Structure 1
Amino acid sequence: MASSTSDRPGDGTRRVGRTLGGPQLAAMLPDPAGARPAYRQLARAIGTLILDGRIAPHVRLPAERELAAALRISRPTVTAVYDLLRESGYAHSRQGAGTWTALPKGRAPSGVARLLAPGDTVIDLARAAPGLPERTLADALAEITPRLTEHAHTPGYHPYGLPELRAAVARRFTERGLATVPEQILVTSGAQHALTLVLGLLCGPGDRVMVESPSYPNALEALRHARLRPVPVPVTDDGWDIGIAESALHQTVPRLAYLIPDFHNPTGLLMPEPERARLLRAAHRAGTWVVVDETLSDLALDVPAPPPFASHAARGGGDRVVTIGSMSKSHWGGLRIGWVRAGARLITELVARRIAVDVGSSVMDQLLAVALLARGAGPAAHRLEELREQRSALAAALHEYLPEWTWRLPPGGLSLWADLGEPIAPALAGRALDHGVRIESGSCFAADPGVFEQRLRLPYTLPPETLREAVRRLAAALADSRSASARARGPRWIV
């Protein structure tokens, strides 16, 4: 988005704002032709883009005449769109300053709402993360207490991370087949923090970033907030089309590629070893940095855990591969510990950037991480068996209650990527909340708007009986949605 200095309505101050051009906004909106009334469809679409984070708050919308020309509709229609946005709280205007996006009172962006705890009776399928057994946490806390008191007499700032944790993470990479020393590790406050630091160091506004489509929603939001331009490459039910990825690297020469090759989120797929090598060679030819998200690499359910993606680059002499990981999926999301594995010089540059954001991760969390990693790099065998049982329970419930949906059983990870057969996921997600299930439409996993509206990600991180009840409620919500659509259409007469 272009930058400009403008008045932001409502505060009377002069500040730098962002302007969304007419052609740019038009490319994000559905075709208004045939929609009745078109202004309501367009206003609803813009509101969805704001809630999804694809359009940020406090962005100036294009002038009415400009957007009308870009959409090839009348200016009064755009006037009606903006009027409806203002009435519903998605925009506000001031004479001479234009129309600016806003969040309605009481509404949170979907990226925030996904992380908020649901009500007591709501089954949460919006988050794919396991809990940590209470006994495991209690034992680890008892183990680290003496060491924590030793640190109480120090400032507690460790911008690179505690030396013992850096050594433990480096040893973990080495055991998996990629020789690593502690100087190549930066401890972060989760993988999302790691990705944000890497994007901020390696990319600038307007740079192209190749991403899989679908991909992890929070990573896509990090790209949008950094004002980067995604270059989507498809991940289908059959996996990655490496030919398309190679062409994208050759033709667009992205600054960076963000990949989830190990039990990909949301599909659960595992990228084959030959395809990894091909992708790295193509990225090397393009001069593209490759950021590999390995947060799910330990969650191998039906196959051996894969070696580090960067091991291919190490054999080929490549030095533009950055690996990020965390303990959020393998252990507990409440343990905000992640890491970056890269060259020692890049780690130092990341630390220099990190100081402007935070000066180090929690000492307590880092000591807990050391204690948990000492018990095993990934989740215990019994926890993997629990995931297999939960995956089987979810699949069985889908076969019973929603047999028309299709999916493939993933070899690992935490979720199924279901195809509903029709683009009803956004409406179904809204209806499902009335039935006590919180779930996100597949469109949240898309780099481009209007994609994957026939898809839902269904995590199997809850107990089997809870998953069965969740699917039963989804089936009831789908039946209600279809009944409501039939009533809206009214009776059909045969003449």
Structure 2
Amino acid sequence: MRDEVDRFPSGAALAALLGDWSAGEGPLYRKLADALAAAAEDGSLVTGQRLPSERELARVLAVSRATVVAAYEALRDRGVVDRRQGSGTRVNGHRKVPRSDGRVRGGRGTAIVQRLIDGPGELISLGCAADAGVPEVAEALRAVADDEITGLLADPGYHPRGLPALREAIADHYTRQGVPTSPAEILVTSGAHQALVLLAEVYLRGAATAVVEAPSWSPCLDIFRQCGVDLTPVGLDDEGVDPRALASVLAESTPGLLYVMPTFHNPTGVLMSAARRRQVAELATRHGVAVVEDNAYAGHALAADEAALPMPLAAFAPRGSEVLTVESLKGVWAGLRVGWVRGPVGIIERCARRKAMADLGSPLIEQAVAARLLPRLDALSRRRSAVQREHCAELERLLARRLPEWSWRTPDGGSSLWVALPEGHSADVFAQLALRHGVEIVPGSAMDPTGRHDRHFRIPFLLAPEVLAALVDRLADAWTELRRHGPHEDLPLRPVV
């Protein structure tokens, strides 16, 4: 039983933890040993924890077994690990336990967040799918400086629910979409991410499970895992989350919440149909489960006719249901860090209390800028979507020319292609070779715990054309290396006596 409790979750999870360990000069086994030693030092590897077998780790890192054996041997020589026949390789139990490093144990999304902290360096990182800000942000900022700054400075500056003018603008935004909303039903947050954190704290405290789509975006999944719940994944089809599978799951248990991304799902780009939204809302209401709809990519339509987009899922909810709509200005500029939650007044009040404990309210100047942008949001989204269509088409053209064996579905919207490698190939393994060619990818195993998308990964297309071209060239080189040569042989030189 101790092995099962103390064993590191998987080789793939360890590979995600190590990040771009293979960068820089020197033999791979030495760089791997250095990365593992650093992980043990900062507490990412727990004292006494058994590391994956040499064979498993070699497979996911796309190196020879000899490379892993040599790395483990080097760690033993340094006193970082113990190696015993029948017991495997364990982090040394005599090492000092460091303070928490802030990571979510078992979470794959933390590697993506860590990349934001570290910066991309020379890598082309596919962990972030966000574009530069639109010029209207600067215009709105100048207008706030000219017309509103004196009034804002006269305000004490603490509005945990959000700047009243912005809450009113957001409420009007939903009312125009056919979802009548009052400012009391709106809470402004520091991006959609904080909105999900607050909702998880409200709904998952004491809960056993949360139902999520499979695949889903791993940092969001880590938010729920941090609350100590198990995740119950439900698959997708071309209209959104599978209603039959969802009905079965809800009939068997009472989860704390159901989390869906109906408007341009991340990472697949699927747009949930109006009929499917109604089905989901009615199922959740029947079983007494709150729905969190994350529409952070609502302004990223790729179809020419955006007027045909269905209303938010909240518009289809029967009386008495709880649907929380999360959205943000990511499509205008993620750097504003302005998001919000729309929901029942009582839930908004609970979230506001937690928001006040976290930061006493988001910065007012950014909110004032957002309030000026909200009335223009539809027009801004249409203009940006036209550019995104061109980027998506260019990425598809490059992939079709250089990597015709790969497959994907042209997304309805969003910011990425959800690409599948040919059958029999692992995106975890390919991720390691891609790193050595200067590309950081997020493999499907990080987004779907069921294993059904282990050969998939996400490629954002919100990059400059020249970066897209360089990206595909690097991916093609990595793919050629994998197909022709397989794992890299990196045998340390040892004297023969």
TM-score range, shorter chain: 0.7 to 0.9
Distance 2:267 2:387 in 1: 19
**Residue of structure 2 in register with 1:144 after alignment:** 144
Aligned-partner SS, 1:356: helix
Partner of 2:281: 280
Task: Work out the CA distance in 2 between the residues paired with 1:23 and 1:96.
Answer: 21
Matched residue, 1:36? none
1:103 Cα shift?
A: 9.4
Cα distance between partner residues in 2 of 1:99 and 1:364: 39
Distance 1:487 1:353 in 2: 50
After TM superposition, the structure 1 = structure 2 runs for residues 156-171 of structure 1, keeping only pairs within 5 Å, are: 156-171=157-172
Aligned residues: 433
Q: Give the C-alpha shift of residue 427 in structure 1.
A: 2.6
Change (3 A) 1:51 1:312: farther
Counterpart position of 1:71: none
The CA distance in 2 between the partners of 1:186 and 1:101, in whole Å, is 31
For residue 173 of structure 1, what is the amino acid of its counterpart? Answer: Y
Offset at residue 28 of structure 1 (A): 4.5
> Which residue matches 2:36?
none
Task: Supply the distance in 2 between the matched residues of 1:202 and 1:239 (Cα, whole angstroms).
Answer: 23
- Quick one: structure 1 residues 91 and 362, their matched pair in 2 at CA, closer, same or farther if it must change by over 3 Å? farther
Alignment of 1:44-83 (within 5 A): 44-45=11-12, 47-48=14-15
Q: 1:487 to 1:326 in 2, by over 3 A?
A: closer
The amino acid across from 1:305 in the alignment is L
**Does residue 155 of the first structure (1) align with residue 159 of the second (2)?**
no
Deviations 1:94-143 (A, max 9, x none): 46999999799xxx94032342465564333221111113x333222211
AA of the residue aligned to 1:434: R
Q: Does 1:474 align with 2:475?
A: yes
For the residues of structure 1 that align with 2:79 and 2:235, how far apart are their CA atoms?
36
| SS of 2:407 mapped into structure 1 | coil
Q: Which aligned pairs between 1:90-489 and structure 2 lie closer than 5 A?
A: 94=93, 109-116=110-117, 118-119=119-120, 121-133=122-134, 135-146=135-146, 147-205=148-206, 207-236=208-237, 239-302=240-303, 303=305, 304-313=308-317, 316-328=318-330, 330-377=331-378, 379-421=380-422, 422-448=424-450, 450=451, 452-485=453-486
SS at match of 2:326: strand
1:275–1:119 Cα change, 3 Å: closer
In the alignment, the residues of structure 2 paired with residue 198 and residue 204 of structure 1 have an alpha-carbon distance, to the nearest angstrom, of: 10
Aligned CA RMSD, in angstroms, stands at 3.6
Distance 1:487 1:349 in 2: 53
Shift of the alpha carbon at 1:348? 1.2
Structure with the higher helix share, 1 or 2: 2
Distance in 2, matches of 1:61 and 1:286, equals 43
The answer as to whether partners of 1:297 and 1:306 remain within 8 angstroms in 2 is no
SS at match of 1:440: coil
Q: 1:49 to 1:434 in 2, by over 3 A?
A: closer
Deviations 1:132-171 (A, max 9, x none): 13x3332222111031232112221111101110001001
SS in structure 2 at match of 1:340:
strand
Structure 1 unaligned spans of 5+: 1-19, 30-43, 65-79, 490-495
1:115 match: secondary structure: helix
- How many angstroms apart in 1 are the aligned matches of 2:102 and 2:353? 34
Between 1 and 2, higher relative CO (CA 8 Å, sep ≥ 6) is seen in: 2
The amino acid that maps onto 2:190 is S
**AA partner of residue 137 (structure 1):** V
State whether residues 331 and 378 of structure 1, in contact with CA within 8 Å, keep that contact through their aligned partners in structure 2: no
Change (3 A) 1:426 1:163: same
CA contact (8 A) 2:17 2:111 kept: no
- Contact 1:118/1:124 (8 A) holds in 2: no
Judged with a 3 Å threshold, the aligned counterparts in structure 2 of structure 1 residues 150 and 207 are, in CA distance, closer, same or farther, namely: same
Letter in 2 for 1:140: A
Pair 1:346–1:102, CA change in 2 (3 A): closer
Task: Give how far 1:325 is off.
Answer: 0.9
Residue identity in the other structure for 2:301? A
Residue identity in the other structure for 2:223: A
Q: Indicate the residue corresponding to 1:34 in structure 2.
A: none
Amino acid at match of 1:143: A
Alpha carbons of structure 1 residues 377 and 294: separation in structure 2 relative to 1, 3 Å: same
Q: Which amino acid aligns with 2:448?
A: A
Relative distance call for 1:23 and 1:177 in structure 2 (3 A) is farther
Aligned-partner residue type, residue 357 of structure 1? A
Amino acid at match of 2:443: S
Shift of 1:369: 0.6
Secondary structure at the counterpart of residue 223 of structure 2: helix
What letter matches 2:139 in structure 1? Answer: D
The code of the aligned residue for 1:138 comes to A
C-alpha contact 2:188 2:341 (8 A) present in aligned 1: yes
Give the TM-score taking structure 2 as reference length. Answer: 0.78
Which string of whole-angstrom CA distances, capped at 9 and with x for unpartnered residues, describes residues 203-242 of structure 1? 1255210000110111111012111110011125675321
Task: Flag the 1:237–1:418 CA change in 2: closer, same or farther, 3 A.
Answer: farther
Residues in 2 aligned to 1:124 and 1:100: alpha-carbon distance in whole angstroms: 29
CA distance in 1: counterparts of 2:110 and 2:18, whole angstroms: 4
Instruction: Work out the CA distance in 2 between the residues paired with 1:142 and 1:95.
Output: 59
1:485 and 1:96, CA in 2 relative to 1: closer, same or farther beyond 3 A?
closer
Residue 26 and residue 377 in structure 1: after superposition, are their counterparts in 2 closer, same or farther (change >3 A)?
same
* Whole-angstrom CA distance in 2 between matches of 1:28 and 1:437: 25
Q: Which runs of 5+ in 2 are unaligned?
A: 20-41, 51-71, 83-88, 104-108, 491-497
Mapping for residues 20-31 of structure 1, pairs under 5 Å: 23=4, 28-29=9-10
Structure 1 residues 332 and 278: CA distance shift in structure 2, 3 A: same
Aligned counterparts of 1:446 and 1:412: Cα–Cα separation in 2: 20
Per the TM alignment, residue 172 of structure 1 is displaced from its structure 2 partner at its CA by 0.6
Residues in 1 aligned to 2:310 and 2:267: alpha-carbon distance in whole angstroms: 18
* Aligned equivalents of 1:58, 1:103: Cα separation in 2: 9
1:427-458 CA-to-partner distances (Å, cap 9, x unmatched) read 3222223323232222221245x553211101
Question: What is the alpha-carbon distance in structure 1 between the residues aligned to residue 373 and residue 363 of structure 2?
Answer: 15
Q: Paired residue for 2:80?
A: 87
What is the CA–CA distance in structure 2 between the aligned matches of 1:182 and 1:464, rounded to whole Å? 41
The one-letter code of the counterpart of 2:435 is: L
8 Å contact from structure 2 (residues 240, 276) kept in 1: no
| Structure 2 equivalent of residue 14 of structure 1 | none
CA distances 1:72-104 after superposition (whole Å, capped 9, x unpaired):
xxxxxxxx99x8798379985546999999799
